[in-house]
Chains A and B, each alone.
Chain A
Amino acid sequence: MTSVREWFDSGRHAVSERWHNGPRWMRWALIAAVIVFFYALPNREFYQWLGPIPTTGSNFGHVLFTVSIYVLLAVGLNIVVGFAGLLDLGYFGFFAVGAYTVAVFTSPSSDLKTLWPWMLALPLAIALTMLSGVMLGTPTLRLRGDYLAIVTLGFAEMIRVAATSSEFLKGQRGFNQIPHPPGSYPDGKPIFGVLDPRPYYWLVLTLIILVVIGVQNLNRSRVGRAWIAIREDEDAAQLMGVPTFKFKLWAFASGAAIGGLAGALFAGKQNFVSSQNLELLNSIIILAAVILGGSGNIVGAIVGGGLVAYLIERFRGIEFFGIELYEYRFMLFGLVLVVMMIFRPQGLVANRRRAAEFKDRRKEVIVGG
């Protein structure tokens, strides 16, 4: 097994070497090609040409929208888990806060009857999720260890219970007729309608690109350095003068805001939000995606989020020795994760830093035990 790993690692090193040492324009050209590919992907003329592998039985544009939402969530959770090293087990709760904020302020079934347009509710949704992140983080981020994991787990569950049982949040009946994002084609037809999922996918894709650019800049600044220091050794970071609490809260709040954005986008497309959309499992799936892809690495989070969400959809309708694979999707993911943790704990696309940290931790385990 080691030899397989070595082979895999050496291949990866060669790729990363070429990536980092190659000319600048080549890097940009490759990034541009990838972006163009993903913009073109939902068009039937394009994906048909790629053969039977990428397509699923269901509406491919819709699948891609779901996948892109997961990617956005993975990018957001990666800030919390990957950069700052905070274990957030209830990240999907922020998605819920975002989706429900939009629903409450825009839907005619809401008691508020404000009937805002989607675009007006969007900034409020982001602000409220950020606020909920700060409220949740302020008491818990002062503590060390697993408290945060437990509190976040409780938070997501609280949101779900509130959504299920509160009269104001409409339970399973949910909110309907949530408005779509604005915009219309020259012929007057709305861009964001019910039939064509592609514009939503393109919107999310564009937002992912913008968010990634923002996160990347943040990560390269003093804030990013502080996050890495906190993740690697919180005491040492504090001893170097890093205001650890403040930066942990920042990571938590920005992660939450991205989760809220994803929720608002989801509500705007689905035009229906109910407590059935909120499953604890979703938090775990996103976390699994980040870890699988390589936490602490934006590319890793994107790959992880995309892969996990896509595979879940891809399993639909596939039978294997008479077993419906979709039914066993979570067991399969559990298995894949266990295997990953044994052979490649730093994830598929890891950075050198993360790899070194894991080695260091292993050394500690050996020394300690």
Chain B
Amino acid sequence: MTTLLEIEDVSLLYGRIKALHGISLTVDEGEIVALIGANGAGKSTTMRAISGIRPVASGRIRFNGEDITRLRADLRVRRGLCQAPEGRGIFPGMTVLENLDMGAYTRRDRAGVARDLARVLELFPRLAERRKQVGGTLSGGEQQMLAVGRALMSQPKLLLLDEPSMGLAPMLIQQIFSIITEINEQGTTILLVEQNAQQALARAHRAYVLETGRIVKEGTGAELLHDPSVKEAYLGVA
């Protein structure tokens, strides 16, 4: 398998506070990789470093064989790296369709965009029902689906999902994770940040555990799911 994303010793600062202390991780083509950890461990910060919203202090990020460490965020999208932002990252004043359309902002192939729109609406029938509704009036779950669907519209090679299950009812969590698996099976590589370690590890091929800005453990999803210290810290079982 070829490596799609490679992060080498990346550190990131918020002012004087070091949020990431030399993180290294890789994502291979076709994988679902999960990044789990407690609040403030640096999961979302890692995502921001990868998508380019925050500049890194040191280290290297390679994507698809190219060094993108200093590349602007919007140009990373054109390279095939798209993030569905955490929580309320949708455009509140735009309708569902306009939001999805924004996802395809970098694309010029109309036929392809129309095809992907049909695919997204098929993946999320709920969005099809609400297509004319403005984003701000959607429920939390619908907004989350919209964020994922919108990111898919950019035709990403690597989809970054930041807490896709945050604030959702248990049934919806189940649903969104099966959609994530489906997206992956259709050929999109996924890097996923989650607090819901149980679901994330069950779905992921591989996973990393983050603690206070450092990677403390890595392994396959199944390995970590049965790892005693992970169980104790993140899965709520002693």
Name the interface residues of B138-169: CB closer than 8 Å to any CB of A.
150-151, 154
CA distance A360 to B134 in the complex (A): 10
Which residues of the other chain, A, contact B234 by a CB distance below 8 angstroms? none
Contact between chains at A240 and B154 (CB < 8 Å): yes
Given A235-B53, A239-B83, A240-B102, A228 contacting B94 (CB threshold 8 A):
yes
Majority-rule SS of A interface residues: helix
Which residues of the other chain, A, contact B103 by a CB distance below 8 angstroms? 240
Name the distance in Å between B42's Cβ and chain A's nearest Cβ. Answer: 18
Contact between chains at B73 and A353 (CB < 8 Å): no
Contact between chains at B90 and A226 (CB < 8 Å): no
Contact between chains at A241 and B154 (CB < 8 Å): yes
Given A353-B134, A360-B136, A235 contacting B89 (CB threshold 8 A):
yes
Our pick among B75, B82, B83, B92 for the contact of A356 (Cβ within 8 Å) is: B92
Contact between chains at B154 and A353 (CB < 8 Å): no
- Cβ of B85 under 8 Å from chain A: yes
- Cβ of B14 under 8 Å from chain A: no
CA distance A225 to B95 in the complex (A): 12
Name the distance in Å between A109's Cβ and chain B's nearest Cβ. Answer: 48
Our pick among A233, A363, A364 for the contact of B91 (Cβ within 8 Å) is: A233
- Cβ of A269 under 8 Å from chain B: no
Counting residue pairs across A and B whose Cβ atoms lie within 8 Å, the total is 91
- Cβ of A73 under 8 Å from chain B: no
Give the number of residues in B that approach A within 8 Å (Cβ atoms).
32
CA distance A287 to B141 in the complex (A): 37
Name the distance in Å between A145's Cβ and chain B's nearest Cβ. Answer: 14
Contact between chains at A233 and B90 (CB < 8 Å): yes
**Per-residue interface assignment for chain A, residues 221 to 249, with 1 indicating a CB less than 8 Å from any chain B CB and 0 otherwise:** 01001101100110111111111100000
Closest residue on chain B to residue A359 by CB atoms:
B136
Our pick among B53, B77, B93, B151 for the contact of A353 (Cβ within 8 Å) is: B93
Name the distance in Å between A184's Cβ and chain B's nearest Cβ. Answer: 50
Majority-rule SS of B interface residues: mixed
- Cβ of A357 under 8 Å from chain B: yes
Which residues of the other chain, A, contact B93 by a CB distance below 8 angstroms? 228, 232, 352-357, 360
Which residues of the other chain, B, contact A222 by a CB distance below 8 angstroms? 105
Which of B74, B78, B106 has the most A CB atoms < 10 Å from its CB? Answer: B74
Name the distance in Å between B145's Cβ and chain A's nearest Cβ. Answer: 15
Which residues of the other chain, B, contact A229 by a CB distance below 8 angstroms? 91, 94, 102, 105
- Cβ of B88 under 8 Å from chain A: yes
Given A228-B93, A238-B53, A239-B53, A359 contacting B137 (CB threshold 8 A):
yes
Contact between chains at A352 and B134 (CB < 8 Å): yes
Which residues of the other chain, B, contact A236 by a CB distance below 8 angstroms? 85, 89-91
Name the interface residues of B184-210: CB closer than 8 Å to any CB of A.
none
Closest residue on chain A to residue B98 by CB atoms:
A225
- Cβ of B70 under 8 Å from chain A: no
Which of B90, B91, B137, B150 has the most A CB atoms < 10 Å from its CB? Answer: B91
Contact between chains at B74 and A357 (CB < 8 Å): no
CA distance A64 to B46 in the complex (A): 57
A240-B105, A242-B102, A242-B105 known; 6 new pairs, CB 8 Å cut-off, are: A228-B91, A229-B91, A240-B102, A240-B150, A357-B136, A360-B136
Ranked 6 nearest A-B pairs via Cβ: A241-B77, A353-B93, A360-B92, A360-B136, A241-B106, A356-B134
Q: List 9 A-B contacts (CB under 8 A).
A: A225-B102, A225-B105, A232-B94, A239-B82, A240-B105, A240-B106, A355-B93, A359-B136, A363-B136
Point out residues on B near A: beta carbons under 8 Å: 51-53, 72-75, 77-78, 82-85, 88-94, 101-103, 105-106, 134-137, 150-151, 154
